[in-house]
Amino acid sequence: MKSLSDAIFLRNRLIANLEEADFECAASFHAPLLNFVVAGGGFAGVETIAAMNDFLREAVRYFPHIREEMLRIILVHSGKVILPELGEELGAYAQRKLIENKVEIHSNCKVTAMTDHDVTLSDGTTVITNTLVWTAGTSPHTLLDTLPCPKSKGRILVNECLEVLEWPGVWAFGDCALVPDPHTGTFHPPTAQHALREGKLAAQNILATIRGEQPKPFRYSTIGLLAPIGKRTGVANILGVNFSGFIAWWLWRTIYLMKLPRFEKKVLVALDWTLDVLFSKDLVHFRTTRLRTPPPAQKESESTPA
């Protein structure tokens, strides 16, 4: 789960599975279509499973041959409590809320194998499913492997001013770079909060270097972390203060709405979210694949030289 197209692909898969299960008479064929596994209990995994759970449980009533009890939505997390970045208290709260909303959580557990029709977990469980969503760690872009600069775990090593080590005049930032954080003695996390600010600083530092001035080091501490956990509830830590429930969900929506570029976009999204509160989920299934049409066959007289 990395890009918008991954999210659209997943939404289409959920609807396709519900449609197929609704028409499927043999009970044994229901499980792979109605069991869903998400691997990874960090932000991306929790947001994904919460959204999938809300979507599937609301959608199921439009499919007359499927009952809600037939759905199995499973989160697999290698640690004790989900959302480790938010601390044990908020993680435990999120875990409790997800379980209340009928999500099955396998903690201290890993995915050990997968095939086209099942997923095996380290606690011995085998889940028959055709849907496994992977959020247990994203790897850096493979293009970085082709660059001859120093790297660690596939990401480019830069100094505090975002200049690539041993490559003066070459700059890297965002998810592709490992930017040292002198406060923690480790590296800044790969988040959009950091990438946006690093981008601005890199531009200023490039200009400063061209003008013969000193580049500035990157200094930033995470302002806050927020995650929606389904049914209009969320968890958040902003400037060290913990929030949970509706207020955290509302903060998450409001902050991300404010961050959208352009006023028109903000209004469109705000309207869309308001309509989402008033109406049920949109179950329209967009087909995103293009059919390849073979070129028209040439007539023999056209293809044979005179």
Ligand X SMILES: Cc1cc2nc3c(=O)[nH]c(=O)nc-3n(C[C@H](O)[C@H](O)[C@H](O)COP(=O)(O)OP(=O)(O)OC[C@H]3O[C@@H](n4cnc5c(N)ncnc54)[C@H](O)[C@@H]3O)c2cc1C
Residues found near ligand X in the complex (CB under 6 A): 1-2, 43-44, 138, 141, 143, 174-176, 190-193, 195
Q: Which is nearer to ligand X, 32 or 228 (CB)?
A: 228
Strands, sheet with 132-134, edge to edge from the N-terminal-most edge strand: 104-106, 72-76, 35-39, 132-134
Of 302, 301, 285, 296, whose CA–CA distance to 62 is shortest? 285
> Residue 19 class from Cβ within 10 Å (0-12 exposed, 13-18 middle, 19+ buried)?
middle
Identify the helix (H) or strand (E) that includes residue 249: helix 246-259
Of 74, 72, 90, 70, whose CA–CA distance to 82 is shortest? 90
CB of 108 to ligand X, least distance (A): 23
**Closest residue by beta carbon to ligand X:** 174
CB of 55 to ligand X, least distance (A): 16
In degrees, rounded to 5, the angle at the alpha carbon of residue 88 between the alpha carbons of residues 224 and 177 is: 45
> Residue 73 class from Cβ within 10 Å (0-12 exposed, 13-18 middle, 19+ buried)?
buried
Q: Which is nearer to ligand X, 59 or 176 (CB)?
A: 176
Q: Which is nearer to ligand X, 120 or 138 (CB)?
A: 138
Q: Which is nearer to ligand X, 29 or 154 (CB)?
A: 154
Q: Which is nearer to ligand X, 128 or 144 (CB)?
A: 144
CB of 3 to ligand X, least distance (A): 7
Q: Which is nearer to ligand X, 192 or 267 (CB)?
A: 192
CB of 232 to ligand X, least distance (A): 17
Q: Is residue 41 within 8 Å of residue 107, measured between CB atoms?
A: yes
CB of 173 to ligand X, least distance (A): 7
Return d(Cα 75, Cα 211) in angstroms, integer: 52
CB of 152 to ligand X, least distance (A): 16
